[in-house]
Amino acid sequence: MDPGLLITQIELYRSRIKLKEPFVISLGPLDHAENVIVLIRTNEGISGIGECSPFRTIHGETMETCMIVGAELARMLVGKNPIDIENCHSIMGKCIFGNNSIKSAIDIALYDIAGKVKNTPLYRLLGGMQTRELFTDYTVSLGPCEKMVEDALKIKSEGFHFIKIKLGDTVEKDIERIQRMREAVGPTIPFRVDANQGWTADGALTILQSISKSNIQHCEEPIPRWDFMKLPELRKKSPVPIMADESCCDEHDASRLISLNACDSINVKLGKSAGIYKAKKILALAEKSGLPVQVGGFLESRIGFTAAAHLALSSSAVQFVDFDTPLMFAEDPVTGGIQYGPNGAVRIPENPGLGVWIDESYLSRQDKHIIH
């Protein structure tokens, strides 16, 4: 660790980018990605970039609260060593509880700096290798059945290997949606369903039993996250594997769910875990218990998903990735970073750190806070 390396300035930028079409889940519709970009500057001229995508219905954070809390965290971190990430997390934790979304953007920027200091891609710094290819799914938003069928057929025609489907409506409507999409798409492409906490435990079981013959890989967060004590029984009865998402934010949640035998897999998102530092702790628990992991995200740009891809390459527990939302953006101001190939293939650069940056002219047009 370089003891002379110090944070001299932290910049926070609002980044609101229109989506090509509304993204709809059971918790509500979104027509813009409302993100916050963080730049951390140091006294040695090394800078790091991070990003978060707060969901008010999941994080309890918004773009505005992230700017306010982020500025407070920044004041605490200026003058500290950016590659002493454990200490930076301790400082953030003592400053304010929760606020994991904005903490994740800072964490990602710290890891970007750490990779640049070591002159190595982040996935290698995290102990990973780029020896396997990652394939993202693509998501069908919740909506009228006819539109969801149309979207599923489009995703199939574009060659994606996996289709993710947002559900969380009534039992009857969600069963019909899956049946109609499976009939249209055919039997081969696996479906991944995500209720975003939209069902009751009884309703979830009815739906999962009804759709179990439709080649369903897993179901994410079928019931409200506060009702997690019902997950063990639901998992025991469900013919479809249960993936914990909103009920698993950090390593403490993961430990609890594993001890309860509450899920078959875990969805790790940097915006839930306050970044890479705690996400690695979740992955370690998953590896020890033999639990498969999906690495996903919210509505981050290619900045946030570049960090997620580096994380995904760092652990053998990661079997699924959900990196599609940057493909939904109407504008892409990001340079370098994650690249999308045929069939949803994902590649990340070999540059030191994240290997991603952002168009400075785009940043110059955004509202900002600069802390030094």
Reply yes or no on whether 230 is catalytic. Answer: no
Q: How far is CA 355 from CA 87, 167, 231, 278, 352, in A?
A: 24, 35, 39, 21, 6
- The answer to whether 241 touches 250, Cβ cutoff 8 Å, is no
- Domain 124-357 -> CATH class: alpha beta
Could you give the 3-state DSSP secondary structure of residue 320? strand
Give the list of residues 6+ apart from residue 357 with CB closer than 8 angstroms, or none.
49, 334, 335, 336, 337
Q: How far apart are CA 270 and CA 50, in angstroms?
A: 11
Reply yes or no on whether 194 is catalytic. Answer: yes
pTM: 0.96
Catalytic pick among 221, 245, 246, 300:
245
| Domain layout of the chain by residue ranges | 7-119+360-371, 124-357
Catalytic pick among 103, 116, 269, 272:
269
Catalytic pick among 116, 164, 166, 272:
166
Token pair recorded at residue 134: 């990652």
Catalytic pick among 51, 137, 194, 253:
194
For the chain, what's the residue count? 372
Reply yes or no on whether 332 is catalytic. Answer: no
Q: How far apart are CA 20 and CA 331, in angstroms?
A: 9
Fold of 7-119+360-371: Enolase-like; domain 1 (3.30.390)
Reply yes or no on whether 166 is catalytic. Answer: yes
Give the list of residues 6+ apart from residue 341 with CB closer than 8 angstroms, or none.
347
Q: How much is the pLDDT for 162?
A: 97
Q: How far is CA 258 from CA 136, 144, 241, 355, in A?
A: 26, 36, 14, 34
Q: How far is CA 143 from CA 93, 173, 214, in A?
A: 39, 10, 19
Token pair recorded at residue 180: 């109609």
- Reading the chain (372 residues) residue by residue, the pLDDT tens digits are 677 899 999 999 999 999 999 888 887 889 999 999 999 999 999 999 999 999 998 999 999 999 999 999 999 999 999 999 999 999 999 999 999 999 999 999 999 999 999 999 999 999 998 888 899 999 999 999 999 999 999 999 999 999 999 999 999 999 999 999 999 999 999 999 999 999 999 999 999 999 999 999 999 999 999 999 999 999 999 999 999 999 999 999 999 999 999 999 999 999 999 999 999 999 999 999 999 999 999 999 999 999 999 999 999 999 999 999 999 999 999 999 999 999 999 999 999 999 999 998 999 999 999 999
Q: What is the C-alpha R_g of the chain?
A: 20
Q: How much is the pLDDT for 130?
A: 80
Reply yes or no on whether 158 is catalytic. Answer: no
Catalytic pick among 11, 34, 112, 220:
220
